[in-house]
Amino acid sequence: MTLWGWLFRLLLCPGLLASLVAGLVARGASLWLGARLGRRPAGPLWQPLTDIVHLAGREPVAGPGGQPVLVAAAGLCALVSAVWATGMLPWPRWPWAGEALPGGLFVYLFLLAVPPLMRLLAAGFSASPAAALGARRLAPLELARLLPLVVAGATLPLFTGQVSLAYAGPLTAWSAPLGLAVVALLLATLPWALWDREEADGLLAAVGGRLLALFRAAESLELAAHMGLVAVVLRASGLYPPGDDVLVLPVAWVLTVAVLASFEAGGRRVLVPEVAQRYTRWVFPVALAVAVLGWWLGR
Protein backbone atom coordinates (compact mmCIF):
# COMPACT_ATOMS: atom_id res chain seq x y z
CA MET A 1 0.00 0.00 0.00
CA THR A 2 1.24 3.50 -0.83
CA LEU A 3 1.59 6.16 1.85
CA TRP A 4 -1.34 8.11 0.38
CA GLY A 5 -3.50 4.99 0.33
CA TRP A 6 -2.56 4.24 3.95
CA LEU A 7 -3.43 7.79 5.04
CA PHE A 8 -6.66 7.74 3.03
CA ARG A 9 -7.82 4.57 4.78
CA LEU A 10 -6.77 5.73 8.23
CA LEU A 11 -8.06 9.29 8.14
CA LEU A 12 -10.85 9.41 5.56
CA CYS A 13 -12.57 6.21 4.48
CA PRO A 14 -13.28 3.83 6.09
CA GLY A 15 -11.19 5.33 8.89
CA LEU A 16 -11.68 8.45 11.01
CA LEU A 17 -13.96 10.75 9.00
CA ALA A 18 -16.34 8.27 7.32
CA SER A 19 -16.56 6.08 10.43
CA LEU A 20 -17.24 9.06 12.69
CA VAL A 21 -20.07 10.18 10.40
CA ALA A 22 -21.50 6.64 10.22
CA GLY A 23 -21.35 6.21 14.00
CA LEU A 24 -22.83 9.63 14.80
CA VAL A 25 -25.66 9.23 12.29
CA ALA A 26 -26.40 5.71 13.56
CA ARG A 27 -26.48 6.98 17.13
CA GLY A 28 -28.71 9.93 16.22
CA ALA A 29 -31.05 7.79 14.12
CA SER A 30 -31.40 5.17 16.85
CA LEU A 31 -32.14 7.82 19.50
CA TRP A 32 -34.72 9.47 17.25
CA LEU A 33 -36.37 6.20 16.25
CA GLY A 34 -36.27 4.85 19.81
CA ALA A 35 -37.96 8.00 21.13
CA ARG A 36 -40.63 7.73 18.44
CA LEU A 37 -41.29 4.08 19.24
CA GLY A 38 -41.48 4.94 22.95
CA ARG A 39 -43.88 7.82 22.21
CA ARG A 40 -41.44 10.40 23.59
CA PRO A 41 -40.27 13.71 22.09
CA ALA A 42 -37.50 12.99 19.61
CA GLY A 43 -34.43 15.15 19.18
CA PRO A 44 -32.87 15.89 15.78
CA LEU A 45 -30.78 13.26 14.01
CA TRP A 46 -27.70 15.45 14.35
CA GLN A 47 -28.00 15.75 18.15
CA PRO A 48 -24.88 13.57 18.89
CA LEU A 49 -22.77 15.82 16.65
CA THR A 50 -24.23 18.94 18.28
CA ASP A 51 -23.33 17.54 21.71
CA ILE A 52 -19.71 16.93 20.67
CA VAL A 53 -19.37 20.43 19.18
CA HIS A 54 -20.91 21.96 22.32
CA LEU A 55 -18.59 20.00 24.63
CA ALA A 56 -15.53 20.77 22.50
CA GLY A 57 -15.97 24.47 23.22
CA ARG A 58 -15.71 23.96 26.99
CA GLU A 59 -12.66 23.74 29.19
CA PRO A 60 -11.56 20.17 30.01
CA VAL A 61 -12.61 18.84 33.42
CA ALA A 62 -11.32 15.79 35.28
CA GLY A 63 -12.73 16.42 38.74
CA PRO A 64 -11.00 17.78 41.83
CA GLY A 65 -7.63 16.14 42.31
CA GLY A 66 -7.90 14.39 38.95
CA GLN A 67 -5.27 14.00 36.24
CA PRO A 68 -6.63 15.54 33.01
CA VAL A 69 -3.51 14.58 31.04
CA LEU A 70 -3.99 10.88 31.80
CA VAL A 71 -7.73 11.12 31.09
CA ALA A 72 -6.90 12.71 27.73
CA ALA A 73 -4.34 9.96 27.01
CA ALA A 74 -6.97 7.29 27.72
CA GLY A 75 -9.41 9.06 25.38
CA LEU A 76 -6.80 9.26 22.62
CA CYS A 77 -6.01 5.55 22.99
CA ALA A 78 -9.73 4.76 22.64
CA LEU A 79 -9.97 7.00 19.58
CA VAL A 80 -6.86 5.63 17.87
CA SER A 81 -7.84 1.98 18.43
CA ALA A 82 -11.28 2.58 16.89
CA VAL A 83 -9.79 4.48 13.94
CA TRP A 84 -7.25 1.72 13.33
CA ALA A 85 -9.96 -0.94 13.49
CA THR A 86 -12.16 0.80 10.92
CA GLY A 87 -9.12 1.34 8.68
CA MET A 88 -8.63 -2.43 8.59
CA LEU A 89 -12.04 -3.00 6.97
CA PRO A 90 -11.87 -4.24 3.36
CA TRP A 91 -14.72 -1.93 2.19
CA PRO A 92 -15.12 0.00 0.02
CA ARG A 93 -12.59 -1.29 -2.50
CA TRP A 94 -11.62 1.92 -4.22
CA PRO A 95 -8.45 1.79 -6.35
CA TRP A 96 -7.01 4.98 -4.86
CA ALA A 97 -7.50 3.71 -1.30
CA GLY A 98 -5.23 0.71 -1.69
CA GLU A 99 -5.52 -2.38 0.49
CA ALA A 100 -6.84 -2.44 4.05
CA LEU A 101 -4.48 -1.75 6.93
CA PRO A 102 -2.56 -4.84 8.12
CA GLY A 103 -3.98 -7.06 10.83
CA GLY A 104 -6.33 -10.02 11.12
CA LEU A 105 -9.62 -10.64 12.86
CA PHE A 106 -8.07 -11.22 16.29
CA VAL A 107 -6.29 -7.85 16.06
CA TYR A 108 -9.64 -6.30 15.20
CA LEU A 109 -11.30 -7.90 18.24
CA PHE A 110 -8.45 -6.66 20.45
CA LEU A 111 -8.90 -3.12 19.12
CA LEU A 112 -12.64 -3.28 19.86
CA ALA A 113 -11.84 -4.12 23.48
CA VAL A 114 -9.59 -1.06 23.96
CA PRO A 115 -12.24 1.75 24.16
CA PRO A 116 -14.25 0.21 27.04
CA LEU A 117 -11.05 -0.47 28.98
CA MET A 118 -9.94 3.13 28.38
CA ARG A 119 -13.26 4.39 29.78
CA LEU A 120 -12.61 2.48 32.98
CA LEU A 121 -9.09 3.91 33.20
CA ALA A 122 -10.38 7.44 32.61
CA ALA A 123 -12.82 7.04 35.49
CA GLY A 124 -9.92 6.13 37.77
CA PHE A 125 -7.72 8.98 36.54
CA SER A 126 -10.51 11.50 37.17
CA ALA A 127 -10.14 10.93 40.95
CA SER A 128 -13.85 11.56 41.43
CA PRO A 129 -15.86 9.49 43.96
CA ALA A 130 -18.83 9.59 41.57
CA ALA A 131 -16.70 8.31 38.67
CA ALA A 132 -15.18 5.61 40.89
CA LEU A 133 -18.69 4.50 41.81
CA GLY A 134 -19.68 4.50 38.15
CA ALA A 135 -16.61 2.44 37.23
CA ARG A 136 -17.35 -0.10 39.96
CA ARG A 137 -20.97 -0.26 38.79
CA LEU A 138 -20.26 -0.57 35.07
CA ALA A 139 -17.02 -2.61 35.01
CA PRO A 140 -18.89 -5.95 35.31
CA LEU A 141 -21.15 -4.91 32.43
CA GLU A 142 -18.20 -3.90 30.23
CA LEU A 143 -16.45 -7.22 30.83
CA ALA A 144 -19.66 -9.28 30.56
CA ARG A 145 -20.31 -7.71 27.14
CA LEU A 146 -16.77 -8.12 25.84
CA LEU A 147 -16.51 -11.83 26.61
CA PRO A 148 -19.30 -13.03 24.26
CA LEU A 149 -18.22 -10.43 21.69
CA VAL A 150 -14.71 -11.90 21.47
CA VAL A 151 -15.95 -15.51 21.52
CA ALA A 152 -18.53 -14.84 18.78
CA GLY A 153 -15.98 -12.97 16.66
CA ALA A 154 -13.58 -15.90 16.93
CA THR A 155 -16.15 -18.21 15.32
CA LEU A 156 -15.27 -17.07 11.80
CA PRO A 157 -11.60 -18.18 11.85
CA LEU A 158 -12.58 -21.41 13.63
CA PHE A 159 -15.06 -22.17 10.85
CA THR A 160 -13.02 -21.00 7.85
CA GLY A 161 -9.47 -21.60 9.08
CA GLN A 162 -8.57 -18.00 8.11
CA VAL A 163 -8.05 -14.90 10.24
CA SER A 164 -8.43 -12.42 7.39
CA LEU A 165 -11.14 -9.78 7.54
CA ALA A 166 -11.51 -10.11 3.76
CA TYR A 167 -12.49 -13.78 3.81
CA ALA A 168 -13.31 -15.00 0.30
CA GLY A 169 -13.06 -18.76 0.67
CA PRO A 170 -15.55 -21.39 -0.49
CA LEU A 171 -19.03 -21.25 1.02
CA THR A 172 -20.81 -24.28 2.46
CA ALA A 173 -24.38 -25.13 3.42
CA TRP A 174 -23.55 -24.00 6.97
CA SER A 175 -22.14 -20.59 6.02
CA ALA A 176 -25.45 -18.71 6.02
CA PRO A 177 -27.02 -20.08 9.26
CA LEU A 178 -23.73 -19.86 11.16
CA GLY A 179 -23.16 -16.34 9.85
CA LEU A 180 -26.63 -15.25 10.92
CA ALA A 181 -26.07 -16.68 14.41
CA VAL A 182 -22.80 -14.75 14.77
CA VAL A 183 -24.43 -11.55 13.45
CA ALA A 184 -27.19 -11.89 16.07
CA LEU A 185 -24.58 -12.28 18.81
CA LEU A 186 -22.62 -9.26 17.58
CA LEU A 187 -25.77 -7.14 17.52
CA ALA A 188 -26.59 -8.31 21.05
CA THR A 189 -23.20 -7.05 22.27
CA LEU A 190 -23.45 -3.52 20.85
CA PRO A 191 -22.20 -0.90 23.37
CA TRP A 192 -25.69 0.59 23.81
CA ALA A 193 -25.89 0.27 27.61
CA LEU A 194 -22.46 1.74 28.21
CA TRP A 195 -22.90 5.23 26.80
CA ASP A 196 -22.59 7.83 29.50
CA ARG A 197 -25.96 9.55 29.93
CA GLU A 198 -24.88 12.48 32.12
CA GLU A 199 -25.91 10.55 35.23
CA ALA A 200 -24.47 11.54 38.60
CA ASP A 201 -22.86 8.11 38.97
CA GLY A 202 -22.03 7.64 35.28
CA LEU A 203 -18.70 6.23 34.20
CA LEU A 204 -17.51 9.62 32.95
CA ALA A 205 -19.41 11.69 35.54
CA ALA A 206 -16.40 13.87 36.41
CA VAL A 207 -15.10 14.23 32.85
CA GLY A 208 -16.40 17.25 30.99
CA GLY A 209 -15.59 19.76 28.30
CA ARG A 210 -13.17 18.78 25.55
CA LEU A 211 -12.21 15.57 27.35
CA LEU A 212 -15.80 14.34 27.31
CA ALA A 213 -16.10 15.38 23.63
CA LEU A 214 -13.09 13.17 22.93
CA PHE A 215 -14.77 10.18 24.54
CA ARG A 216 -18.04 10.91 22.74
CA ALA A 217 -16.18 10.78 19.42
CA ALA A 218 -14.42 7.57 20.45
CA GLU A 219 -17.78 5.99 21.36
CA SER A 220 -19.20 6.79 17.91
CA LEU A 221 -16.11 5.34 16.24
CA GLU A 222 -16.40 2.27 18.47
CA LEU A 223 -19.96 1.82 17.24
CA ALA A 224 -18.80 2.12 13.61
CA ALA A 225 -16.05 -0.45 14.23
CA HIS A 226 -18.60 -2.83 15.75
CA MET A 227 -20.76 -2.29 12.66
CA GLY A 228 -17.77 -3.17 10.53
CA LEU A 229 -17.41 -6.51 12.29
CA VAL A 230 -21.08 -7.25 11.57
CA ALA A 231 -20.42 -6.44 7.91
CA VAL A 232 -17.40 -8.78 7.83
CA VAL A 233 -19.49 -11.71 9.09
CA LEU A 234 -22.34 -10.88 6.69
CA ARG A 235 -19.92 -10.97 3.79
CA ALA A 236 -18.41 -14.28 4.89
CA SER A 237 -21.88 -15.84 5.22
CA GLY A 238 -22.63 -15.29 1.53
CA LEU A 239 -25.93 -13.51 2.21
CA TYR A 240 -25.37 -10.85 -0.46
CA PRO A 241 -25.15 -10.78 -4.27
CA PRO A 242 -21.62 -11.84 -5.38
CA GLY A 243 -19.47 -8.85 -6.26
CA ASP A 244 -21.66 -6.34 -4.40
CA ASP A 245 -19.47 -6.01 -1.30
CA VAL A 246 -20.40 -2.37 -0.91
CA LEU A 247 -23.99 -3.37 -0.08
CA VAL A 248 -22.92 -5.16 3.10
CA LEU A 249 -21.97 -2.04 5.06
CA PRO A 250 -25.37 -0.32 4.58
CA VAL A 251 -27.13 -3.53 5.65
CA ALA A 252 -24.95 -3.69 8.78
CA TRP A 253 -25.74 -0.02 9.48
CA VAL A 254 -29.50 -0.59 9.19
CA LEU A 255 -29.37 -3.66 11.44
CA THR A 256 -27.36 -1.73 14.04
CA VAL A 257 -29.79 1.21 14.07
CA ALA A 258 -32.79 -1.14 14.34
CA VAL A 259 -31.31 -2.97 17.35
CA LEU A 260 -30.21 0.24 19.10
CA ALA A 261 -33.63 1.81 18.52
CA SER A 262 -35.34 -1.20 20.09
CA PHE A 263 -33.06 -0.84 23.13
CA GLU A 264 -33.73 2.90 23.35
CA ALA A 265 -37.51 2.56 22.96
CA GLY A 266 -37.90 1.49 26.60
CA GLY A 267 -36.43 4.76 27.82
CA ARG A 268 -35.53 3.24 31.16
CA ARG A 269 -32.38 3.43 33.22
CA VAL A 270 -30.10 0.49 32.55
CA LEU A 271 -30.22 -2.05 35.38
CA VAL A 272 -26.56 -3.05 35.29
CA PRO A 273 -26.69 -6.27 37.41
CA GLU A 274 -29.67 -7.51 35.42
CA VAL A 275 -28.09 -6.80 32.01
CA ALA A 276 -24.70 -8.20 33.04
CA GLN A 277 -26.45 -11.36 34.22
CA ARG A 278 -28.12 -11.74 30.82
CA TYR A 279 -24.75 -11.48 29.11
CA THR A 280 -23.11 -14.08 31.35
CA ARG A 281 -26.03 -16.51 31.69
CA TRP A 282 -27.48 -16.36 28.19
CA VAL A 283 -25.39 -14.54 25.58
CA PHE A 284 -22.00 -16.00 26.53
CA PRO A 285 -23.13 -19.67 26.61
CA VAL A 286 -24.81 -19.21 23.21
CA ALA A 287 -21.64 -17.57 21.83
CA LEU A 288 -19.53 -20.41 23.20
CA ALA A 289 -21.86 -23.02 21.65
CA VAL A 290 -21.76 -21.26 18.28
CA ALA A 291 -17.94 -21.07 18.44
CA VAL A 292 -17.68 -24.78 19.24
CA LEU A 293 -20.07 -25.56 16.38
CA GLY A 294 -17.97 -23.44 14.04
CA TRP A 295 -14.82 -25.25 15.11
CA TRP A 296 -16.47 -28.65 14.61
CA LEU A 297 -17.79 -27.71 11.14
CA GLY A 298 -14.40 -26.31 10.14
CA ARG A 299 -12.37 -29.38 11.06
Give the per-residue SS3 of 168-190: CCCCCCCHHHHHHHHHHHHHHCC
Q: How far apart, in whole angstroms, are the C-alpha atoms of residue 84 and residue 266?
A: 33
| Closest-CA residue to 77 (of 194, 218, 171) | 218
What does the pLDDT look like over 203-260, one tens digit per residue? 676 677 788 888 889 989 999 999 999 988 888 887 776 666 677 888 999 999 999 9
Domain tally for the chain? 1
- Residue 96 confidence (pLDDT) above 90: no
pLDDT band at 104 (very low <50, low <70, confident <90, very high): confident
What is the longest distance spanned by two Cα atoms in the chain?
59
pLDDT band at 15 (very low <50, low <70, confident <90, very high): confident
- Residue 181 confidence (pLDDT) above 90: yes
| Closest-CA residue to 289 (of 161, 194, 138, 184) | 184
Query: Region 27-42: what's the mean pLDDT?
Result: 86
Q: How far apart, in whole angstroms, are the C-alpha atoms of residue 66 and residue 271?
A: 28
Q: How far apart, in whole angstroms, are the C-alpha atoms of residue 28 and residue 296?
A: 41
Query: Region 272-278: what's the mean pLDDT?
Result: 81
Which residues are CB-contacts of 271 (< 8 A; sequence separation ≥ 6)?
A: none
Comparing 297 with 193, the larger pLDDT belongs to 297
Query: Region 281-294: what's the mean pLDDT?
Result: 93
| Closest-CA residue to 115 (of 154, 85, 141, 79) | 79
Cα 209 to its chain centre, rounded Å, is 23
pLDDT at 243: 62
pTM assigned to the model: 0.89
Q: How far apart, in whole angstroms, are the C-alpha atoms of residue 245 and residue 232?
A: 10
Percent residues over pLDDT 70 in the chain: 80
- The 8-class DSSP code of residue 208 comes to B
What does the pLDDT look like over 128-169, one tens digit per residue? 676 667 677 778 888 899 999 999 998 988 888 788 887 766
> How far apart, in Å, are the Cα atoms of 163 and each of 93, 159, 201?
19, 10, 40
- Residue 20 confidence (pLDDT) above 60: yes
pLDDT at 254: 94
Domain housing 71:
3-297
pLDDT at 63: 58
Query: Region 271-291: what's the mean pLDDT?
Result: 88
Percent residues over pLDDT 90 in the chain: 24
Query: Region 13-22: what's the mean pLDDT?
Result: 83
pLDDT at 195: 57
Average pLDDT score over the chain: 81
pLDDT at 235: 84
Q: How far apart, in whole angstroms, are the C-alpha atoms of residue 83 and residue 81?
A: 5
Judge whether 239 and 38 are in contact, CB under 8 Å: no
pLDDT at 61: 66
